Amino acid sequence: MAYIGKEPANVGQRSSENISTVTTAGQTVFTLSENVDYESDIIVTINGVTQSNAAFSLGGIGNRTLTFTSGMVVGDEIRIAHHGYKPMTVTVNDGIVTTQKLADNAVTEPKIANLNVTTGKLADNAITEPKIADNAITEPKIAANAVTQAKIHSSVVLGGPSIGTIPNMIRTNAKTITSVITFAGTENGITAGPVTFSGAGAVVVTTGSTWHLLV
């Protein structure tokens, strides 16, 4: 059969027939054995004469109830031929859908069950900074000794590096103060002197804080 436009998918052509012999005079209602989508999907004949769609109507569940506009005569033979296409149910076996069968960008977020993405499914370096919510990384998530000085903002005042073979036994500090260091009243500090001030260098000690300069 030729089609104008795109040919419909072949999802299971069907052809079947209901045959009924009228036993009750004036009978108009008959029940079909299959669902019907449209009146054009069936051919209805009475005693071999094809009926137009105007001679009957469809209704009920699945359009299985066929009602004629005129009553039948006892002995009339009613034939209803089903044709066209019948939807088929396709069962996909486990393990059948492979990577090649999935289109790019086909699996969307609603299709992934909660808690279903495991560590093994994440590629190395896959989680970038925009994917981490603000305040999402808590202290237990940071390994001991994992944060180096290079990762701490320059505005954070740290103790100087340690010297010697025993870590942190002797701490060092710079000998020249070149910027303003302010104690906010909530901390104390100690500096090994002597120290000199250069340029805008200054130490501001707010009430509540103590700064000890050892010389």
> How far, in Å, CA of 37 to CA of 58, rounded?
9
| pLDDT per position as a tens digit, 94-145 | 888 888 888 899 899 999 999 999 999 999 998 999 999 998 889 888 888 8
Strand 189-192 relative to strand 56-59: parallel, antiparallel, unpaired?
unpaired
User: Pick from 34, 51, 82: which residue ends a domain?
Assistant: 82
Counting the structural domains of the chain, the total is 2
Band (29; pLDDT cuts 50, 70, 90) = very high
**Joined tokens for residue 212:** 């000890």
**129: three-class secondary structure by DSSP:** helix
pLDDT of residue 161: 59
Instruction: Report if residue 177 sits inside a domain.
Output: yes
Instruction: Report if residue 87 sits inside a domain.
Output: no
The distance of Cα 215 from the centroid of its chain, to the nearest Å, equals 65
| pLDDT per position as a tens digit, 33-60 | 888 888 888 889 999 999 998 899 999 9
Q: Whole-prediction pTM value?
A: 0.35
CA-based nearest residue to 28, from 65, 70, 80, 64: 70
pLDDT of 74 strictly over 70: yes
Instruction: Report if residue 62 sits inside a domain.
Output: yes
Instruction: Report if residue 60 sits inside a domain.
Output: yes
Beta strands in 64-154 (DSSP E): 65-68, 77-82
